[in-house]
Structures are given as C-alpha cells and as structure tokens.
Amino acid sequence: MNIKIAVLASGSGTNLQALIDAPDLGAEISLVVSDRPGIVALDRAHDAGIESAVVPYGEYGSRAEFCSALNEVADGAGVEALVLAGFMRVLDGGLVSAWKDRILNIHPSLLPAFPGADAVGQALEHGVKVTGVTVHFVDEKVDHGPIIAQQSVPVLPDDDRESLHARIQIEEHALYPRVVSAFARGRIVVDGRRVRWE
Ligand code: GAR
C-alpha cells in the first residue's frame, strides 16, 4: 500500500510536478503545504486534485509557532513523511525531532558545498567546474542531514544562474521521484550519517 506524504513548497513547484507525474511513486501525495499564498505550486496541486494548505510564515510570531502549525497540518492529514520541494523555510528542532528520518529535502548543490540560499550563485561565484543535486534527510542544521543521493552536473564556461539552474533542475526532476519511491518502499536505511539503499 502506498504511504501518504505531504510535499512542502514555496515557489514554482517543478519538483512537486515531477513527483505528481512520476508513474510509480509508491507514495500518495495527500497534501501540498505552502508557506505563502498565491504560489504556482498551489496551482499545480489544484490541477492534480491534491488538497493543499497555506501556513503563512508571516502570520506567526516565531519559527517555533510556525513549525508547530506545520506539524498540526501534517498530522491532521495523516501523512508519514514530509517532502521538501523548494521549501525555503528552516524547520525548528521540535519539528525535526518529531519527524526524525521522515523529512526529505532537495538542494541544488553537492552538499556539503554551498548550503543555504542561492546555492547555484554560490557555485558560480566559487568557480567550481562541477556542482549538482543532493537529496538528504533534514536534521537540526541547515542543509546538513544524512545524504541519500547525489547527482553531479557540469558547470559550463558560459553558464549564468539561469542556465546552470535549468541543467540542475533536469537532474532534480529525475532524482527526487527515484528517491521518494525508494523511501516509500522502505528501501532507504539511515545509519548515523550514512544512508544505505537496500
Ligand atoms: C529547486 O532547485 C530546489 O533544489 C531549490 O529550490 C528549487 C525549487 O524549485 N531548493 C533550495 O534551494 C533549498 N535550499 P521548484 O519550486 O521548481 O521545485
């Protein structure tokens, strides 16, 4: 039986769309959660007939209150995992420990290089020849948790943010459904910082 997941997004939701379109995800996207109204990811959820919720970050007095509201929404939907797909908020320790090894994130660099905001710009600025995509479990530090999968992407001499991010996103859209599918089937085992695929 498929596990139920929530996908959290803050923007255009192309990774959400890749998960929606995946032929054999092994997971039912029961809920899409956004931290602000009016984003394209919410339209994608609507078009796919998926329930959505907005937990507006600006309306909470603190990160802890925001995360507690997120927790309530996810619990209420009966989901077993949170899949962050371009979700641009840092989760607090309470939420992370309540969902230990059940929060996945995708980040547009080969972590631990270039964590945080504007990973693509950071890679260009640094002059690396190879960057990529990382899917990892979320822990209490930003872009730090155990790494599940990575895919490299070359940086070409004429790249700007847009061209490089577009090439990275092609890999994201292939990698995230594979990882979520393996996770949903119980094939991903966490052992400290190391993650095994079984
Ligand atoms: C993706 O490239 C994702 O890796 C990145 O935001 C983009 C969202 O695109 N996430 C981060 O930078 C997280 N630190 P999407 O909304 O089209 O899926």
Average pLDDT of the residues in 89-108: 97
Q: pLDDT above 70 covers what percent of the chain?
A: 100
Average pLDDT value for the chain: 97
Measuring from atom 9 of ligand 1, which residue has the nearest CA?
86
Domain ranges of the chain: 3-197
Q: What is the pLDDT of residues 30-47, one digit of tens each?
A: 999 999 999 999 999 999
Burial class (CB in 10 A: 0-12, 13-18, 19+), 151: middle
Q: What span, in angstroms and rounded, lies between the C-alpha atoms of 10 and 85?
A: 8
Average pLDDT of the residues in 178-197: 98
- Is residue 6 within 8 A of residue 31, CB to CB? The reply is yes
Residue 126 falls in the annotated catalytic set: no
Task: For residue 52, give the H/E element and its range.
Answer: strand 51-54
Q: Kindly give the distance from the C-alpha atom of residue 134 to the centroid of ligand 1, in angstroms, as a whole number.
A: 11
What integer pLDDT is reported at residue 12 of this predicted model?
97
State yes or no: pLDDT of 4 exceeds 90: yes
Q: Kindly give the distance from the C-alpha atom of residue 86 to the centroid of ligand 1, in angstroms, as a whole number.
A: 4
Measuring from atom 6 of ligand 1, which residue has the nearest CA?
86
- Is residue 33 within 8 A of residue 52, CB to CB? The reply is yes
State yes or no: pLDDT of 97 exceeds 90: yes
The first and second tokens of residue 131, run together, are 């960057």
Average pLDDT of the residues in 164-172: 98
Number of residues assigned to the chain: 198
The first and second tokens of residue 35, run together, are 């931290």
**Is 194 in a helix, a strand, or coil?**
strand
Q: Kindly give the distance from the C-alpha atom of residue 47 to the centroid of ligand 1, in angstroms, as a whole number.
A: 20
Average pLDDT of the residues in 3-29: 98
What integer pLDDT is reported at residue 177 of this predicted model?
98
Measuring from atom 7 of ligand 1, which residue has the nearest CA?
86
Task: For residue 105, give the H/E element and its range.
Answer: strand 103-107
Average pLDDT of the residues in 181-191: 97
- With a CB cutoff of 8 Å and minimum separation 6, the contacts of 110 are 130, 131, 132, 133, 134, 150, 152
Q: Is residue 85 lining ligand 1, measured as CB closer than 6 Å?
A: yes
What integer pLDDT is reported at residue 9 of this predicted model?
98
The residues facing 10 across adjacent strands are: none
Fold for 3-197, please state it: Rossmann fold (3.40.50)
Q: Is residue 94 lining ligand 1, measured as CB closer than 6 Å?
A: no
Count CA atoms closer than 13 A to 115's CA, side-chain side: 12
The first and second tokens of residue 142, run together, are 């930003």
Q: Is residue 14 lining ligand 1, measured as CB closer than 6 Å?
A: yes
Average pLDDT of the residues in 118-131: 98
Average pLDDT of the residues in 157-186: 98
State yes or no: pLDDT of 1 exceeds 90: no
